[in-house]
Structure 1
Amino acid sequence: MPIRPVAGLRVLAALVMALAALPDAALAQARDTATIGMAIEPAGLDPTAAAPVAIGQVTWQNIYEGLTRIDRDGDVQPQLARAWTISEDGLTYVFTLEPDVSFSNGAAFTAETAKFALDRARGESSTNPQKQFFATIETVEATDPQTLTVTLSQPTGNLLYWLAWPAAVMVEPGSAATNNVRPVGTGPFALAEWRQGDRIELRRREDYWNADDVPALAGATFRFVADPQAQAAAIRSGDIDAFPEFGAPELYATLEGEADLATVVGSTELKVVAGMNGRKPPFDDPRVRRALMMAVDRETLIQGVYAGYGEPIGSHYAPNDPGYVDLTGTYAYDPVAARQLLAEAGYPDGFALTIKAPQMAYASRSAEVLQAFFADIGVTLQIVPTEFPARWVDEVFTRHDFDMTIVAHAEPLDIGIYARPDYYFGYANPAFDAAIVAAETATDPAERIARYGEAQRILADEVPALYLFVMPKLGVWNAALTGLWENEPIPSNDLTDVAWTD
């Protein structure tokens, strides 16, 4: 029987009153999913097999966990290893593991599993992007189901920190080979669906082992929106609830005054550098590299590339990292001196080079600004747009087929990459290598920081890359969404504490 108008109004009024009478907790339960926006879609979902940070930004702490973890303040905390002891000589670590932990496929996590994961990461056939982290591990033993003993060939002061990275997460032997498309981890979420080119959907695990850290969200969706204008439209319309790394700095100020949005400028490890191929001339001559560095006005570049957001750097080190040394004055902006140095190196009329610039906005804009700066000292820069990650990884990272490139290095405390013999910079300096070894084997924190300072100074002097700026974390999200990380001590979108307040 149809409801008459007056009766219909009474029903509607009763419904409104009933909703108003619901407790806040009941209302909050009505919104238990969130849509997170990212500019780049990961090519796979196994952070132990490939380097691009987008993999960890989806999976780390959501699907996968490690023996240790890095918290939002950048500190190392226990995770699957609830405690550990270290021998006096720094060579033996005994980890006590959490009991009753299972992977999302039901398999149990034990010391044997942890041994498998570490041996896989350090093995001869390993494709782990941070394989060198495990190079000092001599043996791994499962003493009993909840006890793991790791013996080192030399003290490794950063071991607990490195074990917290996405590349060191624990993987289950039966699913390790297919984690790239069907990830299986011990984390609070599991993969629900991956619509490639569009979205990745996660669902909360009801059997998650850590009762103290069960997420409030029942699920989450990562959507991939590369175009900055589209990002702004999506966050304004509510189609996307959060862009933890908003990609349009020139539009960011327009969002800061909107009452329904939270905007937070935080710190990151994203060091934007223009790497040069030191394997070939003219980049094998430090005078040329120094001249190119002196051609760059970092402050003007930051204004043009990132709307003034960002902090200049003079070496491969972020200002928020322990032991940071401000070296931006080592080869400060001085185009007259740059031209003189080029002439001393045998290039009085300059030279021409190409820069392979990934398609991200910051990279293409930086390349354009560098092009103008280099022109002032007689150097012609041709910009070659390069698809990222696949083509860039193949041409630049793997085959070293480039003159110059530009990319944001996201890993924390990754200054040691310049000591890797096959890294794309082609940089070799025994003094630098010795400083890195001293830093990474130091058990005294003060000694480690001192040696990292020495390494920073060597890079600032030799300039194997043009050190430009650290990108900020331009976070923007629905004002009712809480728990997202304001700063980014490691690339991540940890959803553990994310919840709605209305």
Structure 2
Amino acid sequence: MKKLLIAAAVASAVIAPMTAEAAKTSVSYGMRLEPPGLDPRTGAAAAISRITLYNIFEGLTRIDIDGNVQPALAKSWTVSPDGLVYTFKLEEGVKFHDGSDFDSSDVKYTFEENAAENSVNKRKGRFTNIASIETPDAATVILTLKEPRGDFLAQLGESTAVIVDPESDGSNATKPVGTGPYKLVRWIKGDSVKLAMADTYRDKANLKIKTATFRFINDDAARMATLLTGDLDFTSVPNETLEQFTLTGQFRIIEGTTNGETILSTNNKSEALSKLKVRQAIAHAINRQEIIDGAMFGYGTPIGSHFAPHHPDYVDLTGTYPYDPEKSKALLAEAGYPNGLELSLKLPPVDDYARKGGQIVASQLNKAGFKINIENVDWPKWLDEVYKKKNYDLSIVSHVEPMDISIYSRKGYYFNYENPELDKVINAAQVALSPAVKTAKLQEAQKMIAEDAVNGFLFQLAAVQVVRKGLNGVWPNWHLFVTDIARMSWED
């Protein structure tokens, strides 16, 4: 049935291409998952920033297509020699979509809310590290940090640092109001989000794309068919189907990297998994390349710790616990489980790395003496049971935030892992002003996490996209989970 659907779509794509008029001013992007809300400061799902970051909302800075920090709501800045004081000069004449003016008071409000006791911002610690926020005038903000942060300017370009209007903040989850180039037109639950150029935007003349639609199509075959028939302009599709898109001559394949560390998430406080030998047994049972080949059709880079291989401070630690099922069985027996160990594996609704990868991981662990019970769950249940309540043994998920090794020192995080010595090393990396010191500490942290087998480290998620020919500006490498519509255009 799936092959028939795709074949019909190929034929339809040949005889029913998109009109030139629609292609010149609009884009349509196919997403697997629908976001739970549209406020990027309060949700953990990457689907939120996919739609809202740089489109609806802006931060003081932004990350560009090459991964570099650029001005956004702040047009310039200076940093004190000790790395503690940041003085930002803001763009003037900026308005929110509801017509209210943006100024330094909005920055102060947003960052104070992010740091508040009841804040649910997933990067709350970045804002509690701000000792003071001064606003000497409407176009100036002075942030004084408690401890220096070498990546602070880049962090201000992430989704958790977008600036909001105090008057509309309470309704941003469903009716987002930002300063970005696009405003929300409609959100049809279960179907799509449509954005249109905001009349309030300060640089409308340079926007080539006037409208953007984000379609939610979780079924791979349906998403492929929608792309082939012209109702989508770009999307990710199953890696095994990429050859289909060379048939019509209408598409190009873009291969790149992401910050998505795909891991076998482990509850380090469960009775069995709190034992290092059990976690080491899991590590020895994993054949990374088999998972990459079987679930991702060869797209992905093996990892041995929680760090992106394309980063200059990466250390290859895949050999820390080499694939050895017999060693795994021996470690299980030494840990007190000579007859095997039964564990649950809760998998979120991602067909390739989670569901397909989960089947392969379960098979590998079963061969090494484990007894794995797979439970497929939807995202709301995963977020509730695994991420919030920590009611799980194992799961598989890609952690997509850039430079997120610091989550291993985050109190109460869903791994349930605590290591005061690691906390010191990660903090030393965060406060380091010397690049050499920062590199040394980051590499030390990678080794500590790998040796402690905190999680099962599988592979770095690749970015493989199918893009309609003529569409320019699609990020090949996903430095952040962003769909930067304002910098896209169609060839004339």
The TM-score by the shorter chain falls in which range? Answer: over 0.9
Tell me the residue number matched to 1:140: 133
Q: What is the SS of the residue equivalent to 1:133?
A: helix
Residue 112 to residue 346, structure 1, CA distance change in 2 (3 Å): same
Higher alpha-carbon deviation: 254-263 or 377-386: 254-263
Q: Deviations over 1:90-131 (max 9, x none)?
A: 221111111111111111111111111111111111111211
Matches of 1:421 and 1:165, distance apart in 2 = 21
Tell me the residue number matched to 2:431: 441
Matches of 1:329 and 1:343, distance apart in 2 = 22
Tell me the residue number matched to 1:221: 213
Tell me the residue number matched to 1:327: 317
1:500 matched to 2:468? The reply is no
Matches of 2:95 and 2:116, distance apart in 1 = 25
Which of 48, 64, 68 is equivalent to 1:71? 64
- Gaps of at least 5 residues in structure 2 are 1-18
Q: Deviations over 1:196-249 (max 9, x none)?
A: 11010000123311367x320110110000011111111111121110xx1412
Q: What is the SS of the residue equivalent to 2:24?
A: coil
Trace 1:424-439 onto structure 2 (pairs within 5 A): 424-439=414-429
1:241 matched to 2:233? The reply is yes
Tell me the residue number matched to 1:384: 375
Matches of 1:459 and 1:224, distance apart in 2 = 36
Matches of 1:439 and 1:379, distance apart in 2 = 37
How many residues end up aligned between the 2 structures?
473
Matches of 1:297 and 1:253, distance apart in 2 = 27
Cα deviation for residue 257 of structure 1 reads: 5.3
Matches of 2:435 and 2:90, distance apart in 1 = 26
Trace 1:239-278 onto structure 2 (pairs within 5 A): 239-243=231-235, 246-256=236-246, 258-278=248-268
Cα deviation for residue 396 of structure 1 reads: 0.8
Tell me the residue number matched to 1:57: 50
Tell me the residue number matched to 2:341: 351
Aligned-partner residue type, residue 66 of structure 1: G
Matches of 2:20 and 2:321, distance apart in 1 = 58
Trace 1:385-464 onto structure 2 (pairs within 5 A): 385-388=376-379, 390-464=380-454
1:206 matched to 2:196? The reply is no
Which of 17, 30, 42 is equivalent to 1:37? 30
Trace 1:295-306 onto structure 2 (pairs within 5 A): 295-306=285-296
8 Å CA contact retained: 2:237, 2:465: no
8 Å CA contact retained: 1:419, 1:436: yes
- Aligned alpha-carbon RMSD (Å): 1.5
Tell me the residue number matched to 1:375: 366
Tell me the residue number matched to 1:15: none
Which of 356, 365, 371 is equivalent to 1:365? 356
Higher alpha-carbon deviation: 150-159 or 450-459: 150-159
Cα deviation for residue 254 of structure 1 reads: 3.0
- Gaps of at least 5 residues in structure 1 are 1-25
Tell me the residue number matched to 1:232: 224
Q: What is the SS of the residue equivalent to 1:369?
A: helix
Q: What is the SS of the residue equivalent to 1:74?
A: coil
Matches of 1:59 and 1:281, distance apart in 2 = 41
The percent identity for this pair of structures is 38
Matches of 1:255 and 1:450, distance apart in 2 = 44
Matches of 1:163 and 1:93, distance apart in 2 = 12
Q: Deviations over 1:440-488 (max 9, x none)?
A: 1111222112211111011111111100011111110211211111110
Q: What is the SS of the residue equivalent to 1:54?
A: helix
Residue 457 to residue 132, structure 1, CA distance change in 2 (3 Å): same
Aligned-partner residue type, residue 368 of structure 1: Q
Matches of 2:270 and 2:471, distance apart in 1 = 51
8 Å CA contact retained: 2:99, 2:200: no
TM-score for the superposition, normalised by structure 2: 0.94
